[in-house]
Chains A and B, each alone.
Chain A
Amino acid sequence: MSAETAVGHDVAHESESQLWEGGKSPFRSSYGKIMMWYFLLSDAFTFAGFLISYGALRFSMETWPVPDFVFSTFPFMGTASAPLLFVSFMTFVLLFSSYTMIRAVQEGKRENKSGVIKWMIYTIIGGATFLGCQAWEWTTLIAKEHMSVTVNPFGTHLASGVYLDDEHGHVYNAGEEAETFQAGHSYLIHKEGGEWIQRRYQITEGPDAGMVKQLEFGPKAFGALFFFITGFHGFHVFSGVIFLLIIALNVASGLYVKRKNGYEMVEKIGLYWHFVDLVWVFVFLVFYLL
């Protein structure tokens, strides 16, 4: 049974009991759409499991990398700091691809084949752009900043202090202004020639004042969680783009014109695509905003 006939029933004259007596869907929706909803529900639990484990591990650490320090690079801007700018751009790309998707579904409802193809192509471009951005983001983190699933060079100072000259134990850049930092400031441990540069510093405030320490790596879990969760989301985007391509080709071939069900297949991939956007709302919240 198609969605159109199911929805077409006069809602007011049909009691709940009649709907449950068989022959038609109690949810006035097609089998395929209902099953897509339940798949998305199960997928939501998978993502929720990942994000909750992120939360639990973050709660278990004294410090956590500060997102506007970690994610502050932008293509062609070199080392200039642009906190959250690039990832906001990515969010907008995905958001607008959700809009183009709903436009494709609306054109499908009125059986406008060329309209469906046009808006689906925009959606595919949006999805591919998002993936490209994510590839750039990952490349920067892995190749330039040397973060991996087991090493997290992003740390946060627990107490105020001053950096020391590595050889003589003097205040760094003696003669010039001392390089100080406050509690809560972020640092990135650099890697030069395959060696980690863990700079030494002296604590100047608090109970440990006067102690000399060296930069420690940040919570290890950060890298693993970041690559795993954004990777899992990225894989959803990737599969979405593939399915969008296949369905766009089917639209172009005229397959859904024969089915005369208001391009229901486009509606179903639309549900999936919006879900990917929905998950990004929360990934964006926990990884980049909080």
Chain B
Amino acid sequence: MAGHTYEESKQIALKTIIILAVVTVIEVLIALAGKGHLISGFAPYETAYIGTLNVGKTIMYLLMISMSLYKAYLVIFEFMHMKYEVRGLVRSVLLPTVLLVWAIIAFFMEGDYWRASRAQVEEKNLEQVQEAMQPRGDVIKLEESTDHGDEH
């Protein structure tokens, strides 16, 4: 607010809400179009692959995440007037949130590890069924050979 007249602030608020609304509409359109709800036959969310990387999905997600971060920036800096506060206040409130970057990386990697573990457990469970058959055959052979040995 500092440095702005009432009319100027009013203009800024109106401009900000319009940008926020437009960005939200674009986000929703990306989510819907990407999954094939808007144009039939166009669904990069499921189809656009390069190797094993789902390019369509990755681009969609990056676009929507960056747009949401931009919306967050507008809400904090314009609506909550962070733009017009002194540097010390801005830093003391916003810098701690940088810690979340590590939290996100660490916990998402942990989640992916859980998924891999679960898949491995499922795989191993199936393996056991086959392995259980195998040693039984060996045991019979062993008994046969010992019987054979007794005869001599």
Contacts and interface: CB of A to CB of B under 8 A. Distances in A.
Contact of A52 (B2, B80, B103): B103
Contact of B107 (A55, A284, A288): A55
Contact of B93 (A41, A68, A98, A106): A41
B12 to A, nearest CB: 9
B interface majority secondary structure = helix
Contacts of A277: 75, 79
* Chain A interface size, under 10 / 10 to 19 / 20 to 34 / 35 or more: 35 or more
Contacts of A55: 104, 107-108, 111
Interface stretch (A89-97, A162-170, A229-237, A253-261): A89-97
A76 interface: no
A10 to B, nearest CB: 12
Interface string B80-123: 10000110110011001100100110011011101100110000
A61 interface: yes
Interface string B6-44: 100110011011001100110110111001010000000
A126 B37 CA distance: 29
Contacts of A66: 35
B86 A59 contact: no
Contacts of A116: none
* Chain B interface size, under 10 / 10 to 19 / 20 to 34 / 35 or more: 35 or more
Nearest to A99: B17
Contacts, number: 140
B27 A289 contact: yes
B58 to A, nearest CB: 12
B72 A281 contact: yes
Interface string A77-91: 000000110001001
A33 B37 CA distance: 45
B142 interface: no
B13 A110 contact: no
Nearest to A288: B31
Given A7-B2, A59-B112, A98 B75 contact: yes
A127 B149 CA distance: 89
A96 B37 contact: no
B103 to A, nearest CB: 6
Contacts of B6: 106, 109-110
Given A98-B17, A274-B75, A281-B75, A56 B68 contact: no
Contacts of B100: 45, 48, 52
Contact of B85 (A27, A38, A92, A109): A27
A217 to B, nearest CB: 16
Contacts of A62: 115, 118-119
B135 to A, nearest CB: 26
A21 B5 CA distance: 31
A126 B70 CA distance: 23
A12 interface: no
A103 interface: yes
Nearest to A53: B107
A18 interface: no
Contact of B80 (A60, A110, A275, A282): A275
B13 A103 contact: yes
Contact of A60 (B2, B14, B118): B118
Nearest to A96: B17
B1 interface: yes
Nearest to B99: A45
A60 B111 CA distance: 4
A59 B119 contact: no
Contacts of B59: none
3 nearest A-B residue pairs (beta carbon): A59-B111, A56-B111, A60-B114
Given A27-B92, A55-B107, 12 more contacts: A28-B89, A29-B85, A44-B97, A52-B100, A68-B32, A68-B37, A102-B79, A110-B6, A271-B80, A285-B64, A289-B31, A289-B68
16 contacts: A7-B2, A27-B85, A53-B107, A58-B111, A59-B111, A59-B115, A60-B114, A62-B118, A68-B31, A92-B21, A98-B79, A106-B1, A110-B6, A277-B75, A285-B65, A285-B68
